[in-house]
């Protein structure tokens, strides 16, 4: 993985300040004690007094019910790095429903939704803010890559069931010890050293999705695989652990990966972790592929800018780019297992794309060019543009088609033509298609110019009744 040089003098060699804003990393409190008072102060500074008070209420309510509550997982990790936490997860040592319902009876307008199947609850505050509650649990994996069997546990067992040390930290909300920091596996030190470390040797075999989760964390937080964890990754790959994972679970993780804004960095990491077989049969020529991926992302952004209300499957664009130089059957095999809407279009595009540049160069009329673009799906068009410079004939042609020609239709429809005396049948279909081409070529604009064009072509008599 590429790393930038540190930009500021770093007073603490354990605190890496080489990527992103130096403030982000120097925010991780340095090794040693992290007293509850300091956590309290940091929570107030980062998350604000209102949220802090909400956490106090939950902590008090849970304690009154004899079921201690903790902040846990990704939000603690993000908090220690002074990064905004997208979701705030609470772990409850006991009856989640009772705590959630007790919190929602406070005269604060808090709504509670309990999901009995998962034993989780959501607290929804009047300002739209929400907190996720789950019961502390023990997980047992009956077989490699199988879904875990779950039973209630305490915070210690809840932390050890987790994927990485950086995600296995908690903060107590109990009024007696609010702000107590639980870090039994050294997650904070690993964050400071920028290391990604699993909690136990079977972690990747139990749940291979953790490999791809880990890769995402490595990219998001610029982490290196800790040596032992690298060995476990290699062992899991030797055992072909992903073969045991369902296509749906694998695709879910790959999709998250493809959605990372820093996808080129993620693919470099994928290369370093030797995970290409998940996406394609062979290792690509990396530099060229990354350049195309970046161009693809530019084209995706271009499209969203010009067509903000239109749906585009961004991942279909990226997969098409990733599979352009692979055997078609390899893409087909993957799409057979992955629940990806639009997979059929990717396969059809992969067939057509190789012919496109020559065909486009040969096309003599704007309508012929438009028909070629039209043969591709939207993601296929953007994937082709990604193979060419931002300014150049092919990109211009593709953009022109998308902006000007894509929505054009014939100004006269079948009914109009029949009203003008043309008989229904295949001949009528041909006329409609010629009218559409004439529109694409800019020869007609509206019904009147279309009618005159039909007369000029000898399709309608010059004098109409
Ligand atoms: N977790 C795990 N193994 C998994 C999935 C999740 O151990 N296969 C645990 C991790 O401790 C993680 C927590 O469940 O922190 C919540 O998972 P999730 O919400 O998916 O991730 P976050 O860590 O919260 O990170 P993100 O910012 O991506 O939401």
Residue in 254, 220, 394, 375 with CA at minimum distance from that of residue 322: 254
**Could you tell me if the CB of 207 is within 6 A of ligand 1?**
yes
Q: What would the pLDDT profile of 223-280 be if each residue is shown by its tens digit?
A: 999 999 999 999 999 999 999 999 999 999 999 999 998 999 999 999 999 999 999 9
Per-residue model confidence (pLDDT) at position 11: 31
**Could you tell me if the CB of 426 is within 6 A of ligand 1?**
no
**Could you tell me if the CB of 210 is within 6 A of ligand 1?**
yes
The rounded Å distance from CA 163 to ligand 1 centre is 8
The rounded Å distance from CA 73 to ligand 1 centre is 6
Q: 27-200 belongs to which homologous superfamily? A: Beta Polymerase, domain 2 (3.30.460.10)
Report the chain's mean pLDDT, rounded to a whole number: 91
Residue 187 CB coordination number (10 Å): 25
The CATH number of 278-407, from 3.30.70.260, 3.40.50.150, 3.40.50.800, 1.10.3090.10, is: 1.10.3090.10
Q: What would the pLDDT profile of 83-109 be if each residue is shown by its tens digit?
A: 998 899 999 999 999 999 999 976 778
**Could you tell me if the CB of 81 is within 6 A of ligand 1?**
no
Residue owning the nearest CA to atom 13 of ligand 1: 73
Residue owning the nearest CA to atom 27 of ligand 1: 74
Q: What would the pLDDT profile of 52-80 be if each residue is shown by its tens digit?
A: 999 999 999 999 999 999 999 999 999 99
Residue owning the nearest CA to atom 18 of ligand 1: 74
* Three-state DSSP class for residue 181: strand
Can you tell me the mean pLDDT for 180-199?
Answer: 97
Contact 317/300 with Cβ under 8 angstroms? yes
3-state helix, strand and coil shares in percent for the chain, rounded to the nearest 5: 55, 10, 40
Residue 113 β-bridge partners: 122
Q: How far is CA 42 from CA 28, 52, 69, 114, in A?
A: 11, 10, 19, 30
Q: Which of 14-28, 310-324, 402-416 has the highest mean pLDDT?
A: 310-324
Sheet order of strands, 69-72 included: 111-115, 120-124, 130-135, 89-92, 69-72, 170-172, 181-182
- How many residues are there in the chain? 465
**Could you tell me if the CB of 162 is within 6 A of ligand 1?**
yes
Q: What would the pLDDT profile of 315-371 be if each residue is shown by its tens digit?
A: 999 999 999 999 999 999 999 999 998 899 999 999 999 999 999 999 989 999 999
For the chain, domain boundaries: 27-200, 278-407, 414-456
> pTM for the complete prediction?
0.87
Distance CA 229, CA 236 (A): 10
**Could you tell me if the CB of 107 is within 6 A of ligand 1?**
no
* Three-state DSSP class for residue 68: coil
């Amino acid at each position: 993985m590429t790393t930038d040089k540190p930009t500021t003098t770093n007073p603490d060699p354990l605190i890496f300040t080489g990527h992103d804003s130096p403030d982000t990393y120097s925010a991780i409190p340095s090794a040693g004690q992290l007293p509850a008072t300091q956590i309290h102060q940091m929570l107030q500074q980062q998350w604000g007094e209102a949220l802090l008070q909400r956490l106090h209420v939950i902590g008090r309510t849970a304690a009154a019910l004899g079921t201690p509550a903790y902040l846990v997982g990704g939000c603690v990790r993000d908090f220690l790095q002074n990064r905004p936490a997208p979701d705030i997860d609470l772990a409850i040592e006991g009856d989640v429903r009772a705590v959630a319902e007790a919190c929602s009876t406070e005269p604060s307008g808090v709504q509670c939704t309990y999901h009995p199947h998962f034993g989780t609850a959501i607290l929804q505050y009047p300002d739209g803010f929400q907190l996720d509650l789950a019961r502390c649990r023990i997980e047992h994996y009956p077989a490699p890559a199988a879904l875990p069997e779950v039973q209630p546990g305490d915070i210690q067992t809840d932390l050890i069931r987790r994927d990485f040390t950086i995600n296995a930290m908690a903060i107590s909300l109990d009024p007696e010890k609010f702000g107590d920091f639980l870090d039994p596996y050294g997650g904070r030190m690993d964050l400071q050293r920028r290391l990604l470390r699993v909690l136990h040797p079977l972690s990747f075999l139990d749940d291979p999705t953790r490999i791809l989760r880990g890769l995402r964390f490595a990219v998001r937080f610029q982490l290196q695989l800790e040596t032992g964890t690298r060995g476990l990754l290699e062992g899991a790959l030797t055992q072909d652990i992903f073969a045991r994972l369902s296509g749906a679970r694998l695709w879910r993780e790959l999709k998250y990966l493809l959605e990372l804004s820093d996808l080129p960095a993620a693919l470099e990491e994928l290369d370093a972790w030797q995970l290409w077989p998940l996406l394609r049969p062979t290792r690509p020529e990396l530099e060229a592929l990354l350049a195309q991926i970046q161009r693809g992302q530019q084209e995706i952004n271009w499209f969203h800018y010009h067509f903000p209300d239109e749906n585009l499957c961004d991942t279909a664009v990226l997969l098409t780019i990733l599979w352009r130089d692979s055997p078609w059957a390899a893409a087909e095999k993957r799409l057979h297992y992955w629940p990806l809407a639009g997979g059929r279009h990717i396969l059809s595009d992969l067939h057509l794309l190789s012919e496109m540049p020559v065909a486009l160069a040969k096309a003599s009329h704007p309508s012929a060019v438009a028909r070629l673009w039209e043969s591709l799906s939207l993601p296929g068009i953007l994937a082709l543009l990604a193979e060419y410079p931002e300014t150049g004939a092919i990109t211009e042609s593709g953009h022109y088609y998308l902006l000007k020609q894509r929505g054009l239709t014939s100004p006269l429809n079948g009914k109009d033509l029949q009203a003008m005396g043309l008989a229904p049948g295949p001949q009528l279909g041909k006329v409609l298609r010629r009218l559409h081409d004439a529109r694409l070529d800019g020869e007609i604009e509206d019904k009147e110019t279309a009618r005159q064009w039909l007369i000029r072509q000898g399709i309608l008599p010059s004098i109409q009744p």
